[in-house]
Amino acid sequence: MSELNYHHLRYFRAVAHDGNLTRTAERLNLSQSALSIQIKQLEERLGHALFERRGRQLYLTEAGRIALDHADTIFSAGEELVETLKETGRTRRAIRIGALATLSRNFQMEFLRPILGRTDVDMILRSGSTSELLGALEALNLDIVLLNQAPMADAVTPFIAQHVYQQRVSLIGRPSYGKPGATLADLLGEHPVILPTLESGVRSQFEALVARIGITPQIAAEVDDMAMMRLLAREGAGLAVLPPIVVKGELEAGTLVEFDALPGMIESFFAVTVKRRFPNPLIRPLLEASEDGKSTTG
């Protein structure tokens, strides 16, 4: 049986990501017919059609999606091999970090602090949804991913989630919202609250808390982005249910105040990797610094 032609696979991968044969041919400086022949030969080798045409667009068949998953893994592994085994005289090394798009920017900066300013490091930062980031991590397109919930792992997707940071969750708002001696029940009973959405672990903790103390707070907004919650709190829309690290600058400036830590409520952050034979060595100082910092986190 003839071996797989990786030139054919590379051309297929390019077309699959572009979704347009003409555009890919122009980008690769090939004729459209030559590129079509390469794809056809790969389909004959695999015994399945990889694309179906709808108008001018190409769409992957089920076999095509499987082939693309393997192609991404193969070529990403090749890129990692070159990166890892390059000559020892290399002066800079790249680390590719993904973060949930709604994650606190202040937390991200704290996590990256051990490598900030290093002249021997190139940081490549990406944001996206959990599924997008974990897919890129599996395909070896990212070295580490930052999330606020640990992903599910099994024998097929062996994610390694390290709990790197946690902080209390508090009521945050403008100084004018507070009164001397105001209790948690007073604050929640008198002012509307800005909450994370129902998918958030913090939201479920908050719902359990208010049920215990017998309060039904007025909801000013439900937001899935910590940066937007911070802005709404600054504008006086209500008391935000947030970890103080999200509004670190505003707390230091006095434009926002931490009124009360919500009992039993914490926000956790996780650094997720996958098992590799040659892990990026820059991951270690990030994780070690986070492990050291957890003991001092409030």
- Taking the C-alpha atoms of residue 239 and residue 250, their distance in angstroms, rounded to an integer, is 14
The confidence score (pLDDT) of residue 156 equals 65
- Taking the C-alpha atoms of residue 15 and residue 216, their distance in angstroms, rounded to an integer, is 54
The confidence score (pLDDT) of residue 91 equals 58
The architecture of the domain spanning 6-81 is: Orthogonal Bundle (1.10)
The confidence score (pLDDT) of residue 260 equals 80
Establish how many alpha carbons lie within 13 A of residue 271's alpha carbon, considering only the half-sphere containing its beta carbon: 21
The confidence score (pLDDT) of residue 297 equals 43
Buried residues in 20-50 as b, exposed as e (16+ CB within 10 A) = ebeebbeebebeeeebeebbeebbeebeeeb
Kindly report whether the global pTM for this prediction surpasses the value 0.85. Answer: no
CATH 1.10.10.10 residue ranges for the chain: 6-81
The chain-wide mean pLDDT, for the chain, equals 85
- Taking the C-alpha atoms of residue 49 and residue 101, their distance in angstroms, rounded to an integer, is 36
Residues contacting residue 135 through CB under 8 Å, at least 6 positions apart: none
Average pLDDT over residues 134-160: 83
Q: At 213, is the pLDDT very low, low, confident or very high (cuts 50, 70, 90)?
A: confident
The confidence score (pLDDT) of residue 239 equals 94
CATH 3.40.190.290 residue ranges for the chain: 166-268
Contact 266, 242 (CB under 8 A): no
Q: In which element (H, E) is residue 211 found? A: helix 201-213
Average pLDDT over residues 208-233: 91
Residues contacting residue 6 through CB under 8 Å, at least 6 positions apart: 74
The confidence score (pLDDT) of residue 78 equals 78
CATH 3.40.190.10 residue ranges for the chain: 90-164+269-294
Contact 58, 21 (CB under 8 A): yes
What topology is assigned to 90-164+269-294 in CATH?
A: D-Maltodextrin-Binding Protein; domain 2 (3.40.190)
- Taking the C-alpha atoms of residue 6 and residue 12, their distance in angstroms, rounded to an integer, is 10
Share of the chain above pLDDT 90, in %: 30
What topology is assigned to 166-268 in CATH?
A: D-Maltodextrin-Binding Protein; domain 2 (3.40.190)
Q: At 220, is the pLDDT very low, low, confident or very high (cuts 50, 70, 90)?
A: very high
The confidence score (pLDDT) of residue 88 equals 47
pLDDT at 275 over 80: yes
